[in-house]
Amino acid sequence: MGLTKDFFIMLSQNKALNSGAKRWGLKLGAQSVVAGTNIEEMIASVKELNAQGISATIDNLGEFVFEESEALKAKEEILNVIGAIHAHDIAAHISLKPTQLGLDIDYDFCLDNLREIVAKAHAYDVFVNFDTEDYGHLQPTFDLLDDLSKDYDNVGTVIQAYFYESERNIEKYKDYRLRIVKGAYKEPEDLAYQDKKEIDRNYIKLIEYHLLYGKFTSIATHDHRVIDHVKRFVREHNIPKDKFEFQMLYGFRRELQIKLAQEGFNFCTYVPFGEDWFGYFMRRLAERPQNLNLVTKQVFNKKTNTLIGVGVAAFLLGRLSKRNK
Ligand code: FDA
C-alpha cells in the first residue's frame, strides 16, 4: 500500500508528465473525477449538482507554477470562472492553490494576483478558499490569508489533520471559515502523523474543536465513519446545520453525496476542471488505489494495484517519449 501511494505521489509531482498530460485531454479515466476541460463543461456539471441541492467549490486545476506568465494566465481563468458563477447564478464558490498563482515565484506577486481574485469574488459575494498544499507552502498560505483578510471577509483555508501543528493552527485560525481534511501530500515523520489511526483521531479532534468554537466548518471527507460521528456530535451539541457543511470530491461516492443533501445537510462538491488534471488525478490514486477501478473498471488486490500503477506509468512515459521524439 505504502509503495503504491509513494509511487502515485511521485508521479503527481513529475513535471514532464504534468505538462505532457495537458496536451492529451482527459485520459485514463480522469473524466469521471474531473468535470471537463473548459468552463462550459464545468458549468453544466455544477448545474446538475445544484439541481440535486448540492453546491460546488470550483477548482480551475493547476499547481506548482514557476513562470509568471502561467500564474497570470491562471489568474485570468479564475477571474473568468467568478464571472461565470455570477452570470449563471449558480450556487458555487472558488477553491484555488496559492502555488498556481505564483507563490513559488514571489510572495508579493502571488498576493497581488490573489487580491484581484478575492476583490472580484467579494463584489459578487463569492467565497474563495485557499487549498493547502505541501508543508513548505503551509505558513505562506496562512500569511496570504491574514494579509487579505485585512480588506476582505470572503476568504478561508484548509487544515490538514496529519500535521502535528494543526492543533495549534486550528486555535489560531478558528475565526476563519475552515475546511478540515486528513491531508493528501507525503510529509515526513517529524512533521506529520504517518499512521492512519492517529490521523483519523486528530481529524475528529480538529473537526469537533472547530464545530464548537470556530466559524463555519467544511468537513471534507469520503469516510462514512467520520460523517456518522459528525452527525451524532452536532445532534448532541445542538450545532445548527447552517454552521457546517460536508464536502466530497466530484465523482466520488455520488449516492452518499445526494443522500446527505436529501437529509437536509449543507453539501458542497469539490469540482475540479481544466487541462492541468494529472497531479490531481495521481493524488486521488495515491489516496485510494481502488480508484484505479475508474481506470480499469475491475477490482484488483493490492499486489495487482501496484502492477497496474507501473503499467499506467509506463504508458504515460511511453506517450511522452513518443511525443518528444
Ligand atoms: P480516506 O481516504 O482516509 O478513507 C477512509 C475510508 O472511507 C476508507 O477506508 C473507506 O472505507 C471510505 N472511503 C473513502 N473513499 C471512498 C470511496 N471513494 N468509495 C467508498 N468508500 C470510500 N487535501 C489537502 O492536503 N489539501 C486540501 O486542500 C484538500 N482539499 C480537499 C477538499 C475536499 C472536498 C476533499 C474531499 C478532500 C480534500 N483533500 C485535501 C484531500 C484529503 O486530504 C484526503 O487526502 C482525501 O479526502 C482522502 O481522505 P478521506 O478523508 O476522504 O478518507
The pLDDT tens digits along the chain (325 residues) read 466 778 888 888 877 777 777 777 676 777 888 998 899 999 999 999 999 999 999 999 987 788 999 999 999 999 999 999 999 999 999 999 999 999 999 999 999 999 999 999 999 999 999 999 999 999 999 999 999 999 999 999 999 999 999 999 999 999 999 999 999 988 999 999 999 999 999 999 999 999 999 999 999 999 999 999 999 999 999 999 999 999 999 999 999 999 999 999 999 999 999 988 888 888 888 877 676 655 544 334 444 455 455 556 655 555 555 443 4
154 lines ligand 1 (CB under 6 A): no
C-alpha cell at position 162: 496529519
E-state strands within the chain = 55-60, 92-96, 128-130, 155-160, 177-181, 217-220, 244-249, 267-273
**DSSP of 44-71:** HHHHHHHHTT-EEEEEE-------HHHH
Q: Work out the angle at residue 283's Cα, subtended by the Cα atoms of residues 181 and 129, and round it to the nearest 5 degrees.
A: 45
Nearest CA to ligand 1 atom 50: 221
Indicate which residue of 104, 131, 134, 276 is catalytic.
131
Q: Tell me which of 137, 182, 256 to substitute to probe ligand 1's pocket, judged by most ligand atoms within 8 Å of the beta carbon.
A: 182
Number of neighbouring beta carbons within 10 Å of residue 88: 14
Q: Buried b / exposed e across 176-199, counting CB within 10 Å, b at 16+? A: bbbbbbbbbbbbeeeebbeeeeeb
- Give the pLDDT of residue 104: 95
Distance CA 187, CA 201 (A): 18
In the block, which residue shows the cell 481574485?
Answer: 117
Distance CA 141, CA 98 (A): 7
Q: How far is CA 104 from CA 101, 110, 129, 155, in A?
A: 9, 8, 19, 21
Contacts of 240 (CB under 8 A, 6+ apart): none
The letter for the amino acid at 135 is: Y
249 lines ligand 1 (CB under 6 A): yes
Consecutive H or E run containing 5: helix 2-12
φ, ψ of residue 44 to 5 degrees: the values are -60, -40
251-310 pLDDT, tens digit each: 999 999 999 999 999 999 999 999 888 888 888 888 776 766 555 443 344 444 554 555
- Strand 128-130 and strand 92-96: pairing? parallel
Q: Tell me which of 223, 225, 244, 252 to substitute to probe ligand 1's pocket, judged by most ligand atoms within 8 Å of the beta carbon.
A: 223
Nearest CA to ligand 1 atom 20: 253
In 3-state terms, what secondary structure has residue 286? helix
Q: Tell me which of 128, 178, 222, 281 to substitute to probe ligand 1's pocket, judged by most ligand atoms within 8 Å of the beta carbon.
A: 222
Reply yes or no on whether 125 is catalytic. Answer: no
Reply yes or no on whether 223 is catalytic. Answer: no
Closest CA to 27 of 299, 316, 324: 316
292 lines ligand 1 (CB under 6 A): no
- Is residue 110 within 8 A of residue 101, CB to CB? The reply is yes
Indicate which residue of 104, 134, 177, 179 is catalytic.
179
φ, ψ of residue 92 to 5 degrees: the values are -160, 155
Distance CA 109, CA 177 (A): 25
Distance in Å, CA 116 to ligand 1 centroid: 31
157 lines ligand 1 (CB under 6 A): no
Closest CA to 88 of 123, 120, 47: 47
Contacts of 166 (CB under 8 A, 6+ apart): 159, 160, 202, 206
Q: How many residues would you count in the chain? A: 325
- Is residue 57 within 8 A of residue 260, CB to CB? The reply is no
Distance CA 238, CA 115 (A): 37
- Give the pLDDT of residue 113: 98
Distance CA 161, CA 59 (A): 21
The letter for the amino acid at 48 is: E
